[in-house]
Every structure is written in C-alpha cells, then in structure tokens.
Structure 1
Amino acid sequence: MGTAEGYKRPTHGIFRIIPNSWVPYAELMRLDRQSGFLAFYWHYLIGLGFSINAHPLSTSIGLSKLCFLVMYLGLWTTVFRGITCTWNDNLDQAFDRQVARCRTRPIPRGAVSTFQAHLFTMAQVAAGACILSPFQGAVLTHATINGILLFIYPLLKRFTDFPQVELGFGLSYPVFTVASMLGKDPLAPLFDHSIGFSARLSKVAESSLACSAGYLYVAGVFWCIIFDTVYAHQDYEDDLKAGVRGLAATLLQLQAASVSYTAKTPGAREKLISLSRDLISNLELPSEALMRMGCAEPAAMANCRIATDLMIFVHLRDSGGTGITTKDLAAKCGADPALISRIMKHLAAMNVISQKGEDEYCSTPLAEALAEVKYRDGIIFLHDVAGASFRYLPKYIKKTSYRLPADVTNGPFQAAHKTELSAYSWLDQNPPYIQVFNNYMSGYRAGKPAWFDPGFYPVADRLIKGFNSNFSSTFIVDIGGGKGHDLIELKLKHPSIPGRLILQDRPALISTLRSSDFEAMSHDFFTAQPIKHARAYFLHSILHNWSDDDCIRILQQLRPAMKLGYSRLLLNEIVVPRRHAAWPTTSMDQLMLVLAAVQERTEIQFAELLKQAGFNLVKVYSYELGQESLIEAEVDE
C-alpha cells in the first residue's frame, strides 16, 4: 500500500476489519468520509419523500417497504458515490498532488495506479447495474444521465469557474431517478417515442408533477452550489496554484481584492476589475458576448463620438444632479429628439450616463470626465483615427496573406486613411488630429500609478541614495519627455531630489516650454547623448513606437554618456506578461500594430534589446496587473 507524508490509515468503521490491500479502494469509494455520503444520499431521500406524496398518493407503501427502499437507496448511493469519486480522483490526480488535503488520496500517493482505478470504476459500474437490474429501463436511463452529469464535473474544473453549477445538476438529479422507481417519473413523456419530440416537451411542460419536480430539482441545484462553494474554500490557495477553477476561487479572489482595494493596496483596483470581467465572461452566453462585442460596444463608441460633437456630456454636467430631459437636451444640441432619446438610452444601458426617469438623464463620474478636453479628444482619436484602422485590419491582413505588418508606411493605418505617410507624420500634417492626440495622451495615464509612486519603483534607494555630484550635477535626463509632466510630478512627490532635472525633446516643442521645475533642451535621441554621467536616463513610452533596430540605435546613443556602475537606464514601458496578459496591455499592443506596425514587448524581448545595445536588464518593477512597468538597466561591462 503506497504511503505519503502525512497519511494515516483510517481505523474506524469498516476499516477495522478489511485487509490492508482493500483500504485504498475503500478510500476511493470514500467509505471513510460519511459526510460526503449524506451529501449524495439526502437527495435520494428527498426524491423518495416527493414521490410518495406526489399525486396519486402511494398508499400501498407500508413501513416495511419504506424501510427497505431507504436501505436499498443507501446501498445504491454507496456504490454510485464510489463510481463518481473514483472517476473524479483518477482525472484529478495531477491537481490532487498539489493540494495539501488531497495529496494523500490513494492515486496521488501511489497506492492505486491509473489503470487499476479505471478497472475499479468499471467494476463498480457493473455492481451498480446489478443493483438497479430489478427496475425498468427508465430507471437505468435516469441513472445513466445522472452518472454522465457527475462524470463531466471534474472536466469542467479545467475550463470554467462554475463547475459547482454542473455538480448541482448531477447531485440533485435523483429526484427523477427515485420517482421513476415508484412509477411516477416526471419526465416519462420524454421517453414516449410514439409521439413527436415537440409533443413530448409539451406534455412535460403541462404536467403538474414535472413542474413540482423541476422546482425541487432547481432548489437542490442551488443548495449544491452553495454547499460546494463553501466546501471548496478550504482548498482555495492550493487550487489557485494548481490551476483548478471554481466559483470559490473566483469569489475569494474578489473578496481579497475588495479588502485590498479598501486598504488602497497597489494593484488592487486592477485586480478587482480583472476578476469582475472574469465573472461576467463566465456568466455571459455566447450570443450575449457577440452582441456586446459586435453591437453594444461599437454603438457606445459611435454614440460617444456623436455626443462629443453635440457637447452632450457638457450639457449633462451643467445640469447638475437634477438631470435633463431628452427634449431639452435635443433643443440645446439642435438635434432630433427621437435620435437623442435613442442615443441616451444606449449610453445609459452601457453605464456611461445614468437614467433618472422616462427620457430624463443625468451625468455620472465617467460622463463628467468625458466632458473634459483630454477625454473628449480621446474619444475623437480612438474613433476617427484608431477605430478606422482597426476596422480595416481584417481586410488588410487577408490581402497580405496574413503576414505580420512590419512597414510603418504600409499597414492598416495607411490603408484606412489612404496615405503613404507614417501614422505620426500623418498626425503632424493634420493639425486638428495632432492636437487631439496630444490631449488624449495627457489623459491616457491620468489616475494610474506613476513609476515614482510609493510601492512602485524605490526612487530613494535606487536613485537618491548614491547620487554623487562629483560625477555629474544632473540627477535625471527625461529623453523625449514631451511637456515634462513626469519631471514635474517626480519633483512634487520627491522634493528632496538632488541635482538637475533635464527634459529633452524636439526643438518645436522645447521652444514652447517655460518651467522652473526642470531645464529644457533640444535633442534628437538618434544622436549622441550630450549630458554625461547623469544618475539616471529616463525614456517614457518611447521604445514601443519603434522597431527593434531603431530601439537599439536609440539605446546605443545613450551608452557612451553613462558612467559604469553609477548611471541607471530607466524605461517606463508596457511589459507584456508571458501568461494572462490584461486587456489594457493587449489592446495597446493591438493599437501599436495598426498604427505603426510595432509592438509592446515582453521582458525577454526587452532583455534581448538591451543586451544588443550593450546593457544588462537589472529588474522589472510593476504594479500587479498595472499597465506600465519600469525597467531598470545598467551598462554592460
């Protein structure tokens, strides 16, 4: 008999008398766990009580026959439970080895092989068939359906977060099996092949017996869901590590994320959003998902685009808490009231705005944000510029025989906008859209953690500590830093920073800047870096705009300026995880694909880029599920 650390041979009940060689098989049948027997058995007793009292009353069943049925069903439950538990353990043996409570079961500990367990399952099935042989075919049919439902359960742990629902379908099914034993099968019309299938369904739907049994069945399903969810909490941490999916894991993760969010733990908000989306995706029907992706979300974006032109979000904001009717809103916008009514209904359904009454709406925090220029322009850019490129992507990819776009002047963007210019050159030549893009980028990071926030990158330990003005008076150089938002916020949150803060960007932009927080200088990052031996050289969302070859050229211009063992290279970029990338990460990667034929990179890809440019990747700092990370690198000796 195989042993495992922590295993103790049961010594109660039947285990006192059976040989040691029988013990693993008795354990597979869960004869040592009587509480589980009751979880199965009481559904048979409920079915028995229902069947006896269902019309017509079973007056012919005396006490002796009732006692016999109770014992008979107990025998069947013991065998049937053994079949399903053996099957479950055989399929779940890899998971069980990773779960503390389960690793001492017979198969994980090696007391029973996979083949032996399958043989034992078949032997129990044969025994179960013998037990049910006195009954008519309908009983065997129901028992088979019941077995199939429970055989599916362990498979669903791998594909859905709601295997408890299917388990409920299986454990609660005996109400039909027992009823058929007593000649009161609620589903009997379904097996009447003398009539058509639709007629059979009609008979079941019209049957008061079937209706009563259905209510009882549904109640049993809900009881099982609650019971098994509570039961599964004991294995929560091990299940997550093993990759076992279930409602308990999802609910506990939601609960933990909610507590962390209340405590303002970094990454908790993102985790909570991700888990909420997981919950919705598991509840959503395929038809609902298609309507959401293909109609609801595109329509919401199109309606938001119309709303920006008509200043609907501004009017909602100005109406305050009292709200505004669609009639008054249409008058302010100069639009058809019927059109405004339909737009507002959908925006309310998508939780963009809030409906107060019939054809009366008010603003929400999201709608108020969309009234601001930076978010309003985000709608315009994403709908007009990026949205057109996405809509053309399937046609473009098909035309190129499904090759990855690699030319910045010949991709989905160019095909959609009928231009030979790169996306950024096109924006420069279309002033309304370059302004829209710049405003959108200012709002893109609003509300998200910055790399110098507490719990992200340790600025004090990694940069301030060790600063040496003898090497250089410059603390940090922000290369391609736009209007200097990062430097301004860095100085605000770390007022004790020593040394100079230098911003570098294109001459046209630098000439417009006036700030006492930093020094501004013109610089092309494809040329040699003029500031020598600074403590840090910082690039924020620069490399994701360029191909690998261009990235290496940019980085190589920095290397000669950096002091070995002192200067640090900081890259504030999206780092795509190897598994389970969040939608903000993948959507930005898709945006870079259609706009510029470039990509967001993984940690391995960044490490390779840095290596080719003469750097070593020291560490990647990230918030959990945060969109942007900070990559720290140093000059390779």
Structure 2
Amino acid sequence: MLSEADRIEALEAAQKLVACLSENSESSRSESTRVLALRITNHVIRSLEKPEDGLMKFAYSPTIWMAIRTCVQLNVFNILVEKETTSAREIAERSGADEALLRRLLRVLTSYGYVAEKGDGLYGVNKWTKHMQNRLTQGMIKFIFDESMPAITAAPEFFKDNGFQNPVDPRNGPYQKGLGIDVPIFPWLALPENKERWDAANTFFEGDRGSRPSWVTWFPVKDELLSGKIDDLAPLLVDVAGGRGHDLMEFLDQFPSVTGKYVLQDQQQVLDSAISLPPAVEKRAFDFFNEAPVEGAKIYFMKFIMHDYADPEALRILKHIRSSMKKGYSYLVINDFILPDTGCSLIAAEWDLMMLTLMSSMERTESQWRNLLGAAGLSIKGLYQPPGDGQGIILATL
C-alpha cells in the first residue's frame, strides 16, 4: 500500500514535472529542461517505488547488460532493423544461436522496452533497437561490458585488500585485479593480441559524448579563441590524443570558413585507423607522457584525456603541453566534466566511478581543476558549463 507521505511526495514531484514541460517556449524544449525533467521523473519513480523492489531491480539489472552484449555479438539488433517484424526462428537461423536462448534474452529486452514485442516469438524495432545497431553504440557496449565488468566485480575486494584507499596507481587498481594484469589499461589494450578490444575502445571514444551537445555548438569559440591575430605558420588547433579525429572534424564542420593548419596527435596505431580526415588535417604520432605536442598552436584541445589519469600522470601531460604553448597567444581547451560539490548529475557521478575502476583516475571538481592546472604552471581563464548535464570546458593559458 502507498503511504500518505509517499503519495504526497510523488504528487508534488509529478506537478513539478507537468509544470516543467507545459510551457510552450523554446526554453521548455531545451537540453537543460530535458535533463531537469528526467531528474524530476526519477524523483516520482523513487517516491512510488518500494525500497525492497527498487533494490532488487538494481541487483538484477546486470542481466540486461549481459543480454544486450550477447545480442550485439550475435548481430541481433542489425537483423531486427532490416524489417518491421522478425521471428525468433529467423534470428536463430541467421545468428546460429539456439532459439530458446534468444527468446530468453529478448524477453528481458522487450520487458525493458529496448526491443518491440509483436507477438509470441515475434519482434520489431523501436528507437532503442535502432540505436543498438549503431556502430558507435556497439563500440560502447563492447568496451564498457568487456573492460568494466571484471573491474567492477573485483572492486570491493580490491578496496578491502588496499585498506579502502582511493586508487591512484594506473598499474594497480580494480581493472588490474579483475583481469590479472599489472599494466595500465591503454598499454594493455594496445597489445596486438587485444586488437578487437582496442578497436572497440576507439570506436566508443568517437561517440562517448552521447547525445550531449558538442562544445563547438555552445562555447563562444570565436570570441574566446579566434579573436585577434592568428599565426598562419603555426597550427590553429592541435587535437591532443584526439583518437580518430572526431572532435576535430566537429570543429571543422562548425567553422568551415576558419582557415588554418590542423594537427591530430595520438599513438601511431590509433592514427592509422583515422581514415576519414580531410587534407587540412595533418596526423602526427607522439607519446604525451614523454613528448610535447606541436609547438606554438593557437588552441590545444583535449577531450576526456585528463579524466583518464590521476594527478601525477596528468601533471606530466600538462607540463609537456605547457612547454609547447606560446605566452599571450596559446590556449589549452579541456573538454571534461566539472563536478559540482553538491547535486551532481547521475551520469557524471557514474562516469567518475568508471574512471576509478578502469583507470584508477577521476572526474574533477572546480577546485581540483584549479589545483591541478596551477601545479602545471597554467592559469584558468574560465570554466564553462554546457546546457544539461554534459562535459564542461576548462580554458587555460600560461
């Protein structure tokens, strides 16, 4: 039975939700409003949900993730999107999987709304099914499931063995305990025998922002970064450890009339997989732990790099970048989460724990960003937050 207190709490939250979405204006359809509405909706659910049921739902939720990962491996989502309705028998014949197993996996996914149920053993598509067959989505599913699940499982025992201290050693964390290795995650994934896992990681990194807006769509790029004289002999933008150049391409697409030299820097094997870059982008291999990027650029850009490393390793990277920057001219643009001291969004808090388990690293608060960059000899010109709950921009100079 629903208690009177819970009924009132749910009703008040529902009224806030209706008020949030009722206004017929541009702001009511904004990303900020969408994220706020989701938070209020979760409040309604928590008010109505009994703790026993809610906790049991979370306890069994890994089965959903397992079913999704298995269906990706069997190419189920790609099969489903080909036509309006597909039978379990046809999926079994095309995937080579047992029909009884498929029905059990899909039962979970239809219950959760990720696959449409059209009848007994008949399945269709919805927006979730279509999203699951996307190349970037499947890279994320493979990377997060294959790499994080052993680490998450090993984490409680790792914490206990290490006196519940915050892990900061990239060679000794939950990931290493879960996989039985003693090297950091990226050097291990880059080994030839892990080629498929490394490819999944780099595919995920192409789309790891999700639906959240790109920084070039909301940050005042022209006012903050492109005003004043530009040195035509030096690069306009260096994408530091930029993977396959997806963020660099977004910059070029957003500012097609801004001419200049562009450089993508990463490990050689990563650059070799960046095959869709325009001639304006030069690829240069480097190791940011031991080398400085190209000198004298106007903009040094890093997305989701600093959160991969605890302060000692992050400082090494930042000091190399600082040595390449030109005083009074160069900017360092860091696209990363800026955690609030209170009221943190769920996705940012979860991402922080993912960094803990995989990298022995962290997402940072404003004060942590200021301390880190100050120790590297850099000054923060501004911290900027995007609409909704996405990654912010930390703008730094010498």
TM-score by length of 2: 0.90
Of 515-524 and 327-336, the range deviating more from structure 2: 327-336
Distance 1:388 1:542, change over 3 A: same
User: How many angstroms does 1:511 deviate by?
Assistant: 5.0
> 8 Å contact 1:464–1:498 — kept in the other structure?
no
Distance 1:277 1:499, change over 3 A: same
How far apart, in 2, do the equivalents of 1:380 and 1:418 lie? 20
How far apart, in 2, do the equivalents of 1:348 and 1:520 lie? 44
> 8 Å contact 1:266–1:623 — kept in the other structure?
no
Tell me the secondary structure at the aligned position of residue 118 of structure 2: strand
How far apart, in 1, do the equivalents of 2:109 and 2:272 lie? 42
Which residue is equivalent to 1:406?
168
Distance 1:315 1:410, change over 3 A: same
Q: Residue by residue, what CA displacement relative to the aligned partner does 1:315-356 show, whole Å, maximum 9, x if unpaired?
A: 2112x22x1222333333333333322222210111111112
Which residue is equivalent to 1:622?
385
How far apart, in 1, do the equivalents of 2:120 and 2:306 lie? 50
Query: 5+ unaligned residues in a row in structure 2: which ranges?
Result: none
Distance 1:473 1:401, change over 3 A: closer
> 8 Å contact 1:546–1:598 — kept in the other structure?
yes
How far apart, in 2, do the equivalents of 1:261 and 1:357 lie? 40
Which residue is equivalent to 2:159?
397
Q: Which amino acid aligns with 2:119?
A: G
Which residue is equivalent to 1:285?
50
Which residue is equivalent to 1:549?
312
- Once the two structures are superposed, the pairs formed by residues 518-597 of structure 1 within 5 Å of their partners are 518-527=281-290, 529=292, 531-597=294-360
Q: Residue by residue, what CA displacement relative to the aligned partner does 1:459-489 show, whole Å, maximum 9, x if unpaired?
A: 111122213337x543211111122111222
Which residue is equivalent to 1:598?
361
Tell me the secondary structure at the aligned position of residue 265 of structure 2: strand
User: How many angstroms does 1:289 deviate by?
Assistant: 0.9
How far apart, in 2, do the equivalents of 1:474 and 1:531 lie? 8
Match of 1:431 among 184, 195, 198: 195
How far apart, in 1, do the equivalents of 2:324 and 2:139 lie? 38
Asked if residue 382 in structure 1 is aligned to residue 149 in structure 2, the reply is no
Q: Which amino acid aligns with 1:345?
A: R
Distance 1:504 1:329, change over 3 A: closer
Tell me the secondary structure at the aligned position of residue 617 of structure 1: strand
Tell me the secondary structure at the aligned position of residue 509 of structure 1: helix
How far apart, in 2, do the equivalents of 1:374 and 1:164 lie? 39
Tell me the secondary structure at the aligned position of residue 382 of structure 2: strand
Which residue is equivalent to 1:338?
100
Match of 1:252 among 13, 19, 32: 19
How far apart, in 1, do the equivalents of 2:295 and 2:107 lie? 59
- Once the two structures are superposed, the pairs formed by residues 178-193 of structure 1 within 5 Å of their partners are none
Q: Which amino acid aligns with 1:357?
A: G
User: How many angstroms does 1:446 deviate by?
Assistant: 4.4
How far apart, in 1, do the equivalents of 2:121 and 2:8 lie? 42
Say which structure is richer in strand. Answer: 2
User: How many angstroms does 1:594 deviate by?
Assistant: 0.7
User: How many angstroms does 1:564 deviate by?
Assistant: 2.7
- Once the two structures are superposed, the pairs formed by residues 156-305 of structure 1 within 5 Å of their partners are 163=8, 247-255=14-22, 260=26, 263=29, 265-295=30-60, 297-305=61-69
Which residue is equivalent to 2:212?
448
Match of 2:254 among 470, 493, 500: 493
How far apart, in 2, do the equivalents of 1:530 and 1:343 lie? 47
Distance 1:525 1:384, change over 3 A: closer
> 8 Å contact 1:582–1:625 — kept in the other structure?
no
How far apart, in 2, do the equivalents of 1:352 and 1:401 lie? 40
User: How many angstroms does 1:589 deviate by?
Assistant: 0.8
Distance 1:277 1:401, change over 3 A: same
How far apart, in 2, do the equivalents of 1:390 and 1:367 lie? 26
Q: Residue by residue, what CA displacement relative to the aligned partner does 1:478-501 show, whole Å, maximum 9, x if unpaired?
A: 111122111222111111213211
User: How many angstroms does 1:547 deviate by?
Assistant: 1.9
Asked if residue 366 in structure 1 is aligned to residue 366 in structure 2, the reply is no
User: How many angstroms does 1:406 deviate by?
Assistant: 2.3
Tell me the secondary structure at the aligned position of residue 352 of structure 2: helix
Q: Which amino acid aligns with 1:508?
A: Q
Which residue is equivalent to 1:458?
220
How far apart, in 1, do the equivalents of 2:377 and 2:91 lie? 60
Taking only aligned residues, the RMSD between alpha carbons, in angstroms, comes to 2.5
How far apart, in 2, do the equivalents of 1:489 and 1:255 lie? 33
Which residue is equivalent to 1:58?
none
User: How many angstroms does 1:528 deviate by?
Assistant: 5.5
Q: Which amino acid aligns with 2:225?
A: L
Number of equivalences: 392
How far apart, in 2, do the equivalents of 1:536 and 1:502 lie? 10
Distance 1:266 1:618, change over 3 A: farther
TM-score by length of 1: 0.58
How far apart, in 2, do the equivalents of 1:330 and 1:507 lie? 40
Q: Which amino acid aligns with 1:563?
A: K
Match of 1:349 among 111, 133, 154: 111
Larger Rg: 1
User: How many angstroms does 1:270 deviate by?
Assistant: 2.8
How far apart, in 2, do the equivalents of 1:486 and 1:390 lie? 29
Query: 5+ unaligned residues in a row in structure 1: which ranges?
Result: 1-151, 166-224, 230-245
Q: Residue by residue, what CA displacement relative to the aligned partner does 1:192-250 show, whole Å, maximum 9, x if unpaired?
A: xxxxxxxxxxxxxxxxxxxxxxxxxxxxxxxxx6xxx6xxxxxxxxxxxxxxxx55434
> 8 Å contact 1:409–1:421 — kept in the other structure?
yes
Distance 1:585 1:362, change over 3 A: same
